[in-house]
Amino acid sequence: MSRDLTILTDVSLITCIVQRGKADKVVQTAQEAGASGATIYYGYGSGVRERLGVLGLAIDVEKEIITAMVADDQADRIFERMYFAAELDVPGNGVIYMTRLEKAATFIPKDILDRVHAKGSHRP
């Protein structure tokens, strides 16, 4: 049986860095807004924390880095939702950025593939 690869285009990658323990809420928001999934890494970082003096103690140096691939036409909305879910308007809470992806591929449910083919898209 031959196996197919379907290339997805028009996708963006949203990366959001938050303090340790805060990723789950952000990921949930992203999924509710249309992201299909997210990956979390651990790391640690500095920046605003060092410039806040004693207040900086309230910021955890350990971070969670969330990456989520999203469709271009939903990207801005998800980006905005994640920004507010992570409360990035508070100093030290983290940063979010989005990059264009050239292409991506993953498992795609069969009914979706069939629907796309019925519309007349070409197979790669």
List of residues contacting another protein (CB under 8 A): 48, 50-59, 87, 90-93
Least separation in angstroms between CB 91 and another protein: 5
Pairwise CA distance, residues 20 & 113, whole Å:
38
Which residue number, 51 or 103, has a Cβ lying nearer to another protein? 51
Cα distances from 20 to residues 13, 33, 39, 64, in angstroms, run 21, 22, 14, 5
Using the minimum distance from each CB to another protein, give the nearer residue, 35 or 85.
Answer: 85
Residue closer to another protein, measured from CB, 35 or 49: 49
Tokens of 106: 């993953």
